[in-house]
Structure 1
Amino acid sequence: MNYRHFVLIGAMAVSVPALAQEVTFKIAHFLPSAAPTQQKVLQPWCEEMGKLSSGRIKCQFYPAMQLGGTPAQLADQVKNGVADVVWTGPGYSAGRFPAIEAFELPFMVKDSTSSSKALWTYYQQHAQQEFAAYKVLAFHTDGGQAVHTASKQIAGLTGFAGLKLRTSTRVGAKTLAALGGQPVAMPPAQVTEAIAKGVVDGSLGAWELVYPTKLSEVTKFHLQPDNGVAYPTATVLAVLMNKQKYDGLPADLKAIVDKTTGEAMVGKFGAMFDEVAADTRKRIAAQGNKITTLSATQVTAMKQATASVEDEWAKQVSEKGLDGKKLIAAARELTGTSK
């Protein structure tokens, strides 16, 4: 074997691993592994990337905060490389991502499909700067938060008075307080036990959460607006990727990540959350729970009661150099909602 053969073999040894680089994404989130987010969106996404990459992209899931910390720390975990990808609510880190909070304002979100599409457009136009440290894969909403209570049925605006309810974001907490309720912040995993022990009377939460967090076992009453009417509050959710992890991928694997995320992933989250919401309502009704729908009159009264939340939010974000009123107007135009 002469020198040229050695050079050729050496070049092949270097080029083959470079061409066939494999990668495993560590994916973390705050719900159990059985949650629809993992089962119906994130796992199928990983399977799709696996097929498109001939098995070179793999995923390892860390549900229910298995990497430690709290849901509020997921944004830092992915930024610092503890996880490669996270699914989280930016609003869990109170005040850190102010522009995106506009979609959590009172009566902004009617469903997940339309509002998630609107949110993705809004992010591209108004909120890219505050997520510059991440590779953003998707944004979506939870479709709006219904009110789930253990023993007290809420009848309109006055029914919130004195009720202790779990809220997921600071905007949601302010909305509940404006309605006369007492907001209590806690991670989703703690809610069911807190209701069972009487620490809280119930929870604001998307229908998607009801079975994964076992809210179905401790609540009997549920309050929601009519179809096509916006919910009192909603949660913005995001799939964020570590920027260095993405930047270090070979071009062909980057292309696969890009092809399977963004608008495509936003659409899948929106459809899934609405589908699960409809299915959950059927299951909840079948087990004998009572679902109350807010009347148009009640919604109008609740909008008036929560108007101050929007005004206060606009002032607060303006202090951070953002045009709060402009952001609200943009969000309302995109979602087709009015104050």
Structure 2
Amino acid sequence: MKHLGRTLLYGTVGVFFSVSALAAETTLRVSTWLPPTNPQNETVWPTWAKWVEEATEGRVNVIIEDYNGHPRTLFTAVEDGVVDASFSVNAYLSGRFMLPGIAEIPGEVADAESGSVALWRVYKEYFEPANEYEGLHVLGMFVHGPGQLHTRFPVTSMSDLKSKKMRVGGGLVNALAERMEVSPVSAPAPKSYEMMQQGVVDGTFLPPLDQKFLRIHEVSSQLTLFPKGLYTTAFTIFMNPDVFAQLSAEDRNAIMEVSGEKLSRLAGAAWGTADEDGIAEAAKNKVNIVRVGENDPLAQELNKLSRGLDQKWMESVAERKVNAAAALQRFRAIVAEEQK
């Protein structure tokens, strides 16, 4: 049996190794970096692992390992063969993965599943030839549900955010934060709890699910929900290309049959559905939940601040030599079709 990558089992999935890996010809080690209850770890990875094992008739086994470093280093860890596969936020590596930012334009995605499917299809149709993922084999792409405001202070107008210290994760949300005149503090999502608890920031931009999964309900008093959120974050699921190439053609085809759009849809649906769990957790813990209506002044202020960020994304990818305008039109069409 081939063992690929490091040996470090992750939580409850150790049983996968003891039962399945012994019979497998190849074991793929996948590193993850969010809490066990996060939908990526509770639903996406275990489901994909099951799909891979079934599709390869048991020849390829998948185990999950915990990763404690900054999630941006996972791109390099997979490229260097330290681990076999993983996922991370594209914007954590500023300047490298610019094209998936199409899914981060404010107001474009109200549903994580449709946004994830659209991102995958547009990547395959328009972005793949730009070779942004050189050194990685892309398995899927997805977005979380619309990011919202989690704060320790009420937000009744955009002026309430002025000069407030807000944790941001990178990408187009940083441009929006600049227009909001907040004081942005860049950090990965799991740092939000600690930073809010210690008073380093006054709030964070995250999807509602993290009221539960990152326990933001313990450090915030307000959850402000905009109709289409403030932004979305684009993630990529990737694998070491040499590891992928070592598999038989039959197993490579089998893995891609359960990856690509199928995996992207799974991830988007899992993350999107979990937002309701986060909102319920916030309500249970007496976090004040404000649902902003489409015609509310606060929503209108956000729309005004967001204006032109689609053009900003197109300008940012001008050197990638892709038809950004056509890609954006296609992205919007897929989202609209998927949301019917």
What band does the TM-score fall into relative to the shorter chain?
0.7 to 0.9
Give 5+ residue unaligned stretches, structure 2.
Answer: 1-22
Superimposed CA distance per residue, residues 279-314 of structure 1 (whole angstroms, 9 cap, x where no aligned partner): 221221122111112222332321221224333333
Structure 1 residues 172, 55: closer, same or farther in 2, change over 3 A? same
What is the aligned-residue RMSD (CA, Å)? 2.2
Give 5+ residue unaligned stretches, structure 1.
Answer: 1-19
Hey, what's the Cα distance between the residues in 2 that align with 1:86 and 1:280? 24
Structure 1 residues 202, 127: closer, same or farther in 2, change over 3 A? same
- Does the CA contact (< 8 Å) of 1:317 and 1:323 recur in 2? no
- Does the CA contact (< 8 Å) of 2:193 and 2:215 recur in 1? yes
**How far 1:238 moved relative to its partner?**
1.5
**How far 1:21 moved relative to its partner?**
6.4
Alignment map for 1:1-339 (pairs within 5 Å): 22-63=25-66, 65-66=67-68, 68=69, 70-129=70-129, 130-149=132-151, 151-226=152-227, 230-297=228-295, 298-336=298-336
Superimposed CA distance per residue, residues 24-48 of structure 1 (whole angstroms, 9 cap, x where no aligned partner): 1111122123322111110122133
Q: So what's the TM-score if we normalise by structure 2?
A: 0.84
Hey, what's the Cα distance between the residues in 2 that align with 1:136 and 1:45? 14
Q: So what's the TM-score if we normalise by structure 1?
A: 0.84
**How far 1:204 moved relative to its partner?**
0.4
**How far 1:260 moved relative to its partner?**
1.5
Hey, what's the Cα distance between the residues in 1 that align with 2:328 and 2:52? 36
Superimposed CA distance per residue, residues 200-237 of structure 1 (whole angstroms, 9 cap, x where no aligned partner): 011101223332322121112111123xxx22211001
Structure 1 residues 48, 309: closer, same or farther in 2, change over 3 A? closer
Task: Give the secondary structure class of the aligned counterpart of 1:210.
Answer: helix
- Does the CA contact (< 8 Å) of 2:52 and 2:62 recur in 1? no
Task: Give the secondary structure class of the aligned counterpart of 1:133.
Answer: coil
- Does the CA contact (< 8 Å) of 1:156 and 1:294 recur in 2? no
Structure 1 residues 221, 317: closer, same or farther in 2, change over 3 A? same
Hey, what's the Cα distance between the residues in 2 that align with 1:193 and 1:296? 33
Structure 1 residues 327, 252: closer, same or farther in 2, change over 3 A? closer
Hey, what's the Cα distance between the residues in 2 that align with 1:196 and 1:284? 16
For 1:281, the aligned partner's letter is: I
Superimposed CA distance per residue, residues 219-278 of structure 1 (whole angstroms, 9 cap, x where no aligned partner): 12111123xxx2221100111111111111023322331222112212211221122111
**How far 1:86 moved relative to its partner?**
0.8
Structure 1 residues 265, 175: closer, same or farther in 2, change over 3 A? same
**How far 1:319 moved relative to its partner?**
4.2
Aligned to 2:3: none
> Which range is displaced more, 84-93 or 313-322?
313-322
Hey, what's the Cα distance between the residues in 2 that align with 1:153 and 1:329? 36
Task: Give the secondary structure class of the aligned counterpart of 2:317.
Answer: helix
For 2:196, the aligned partner's letter is: I
Superimposed CA distance per residue, residues 70-93 of structure 1 (whole angstroms, 9 cap, x where no aligned partner): 211222221221221111111211
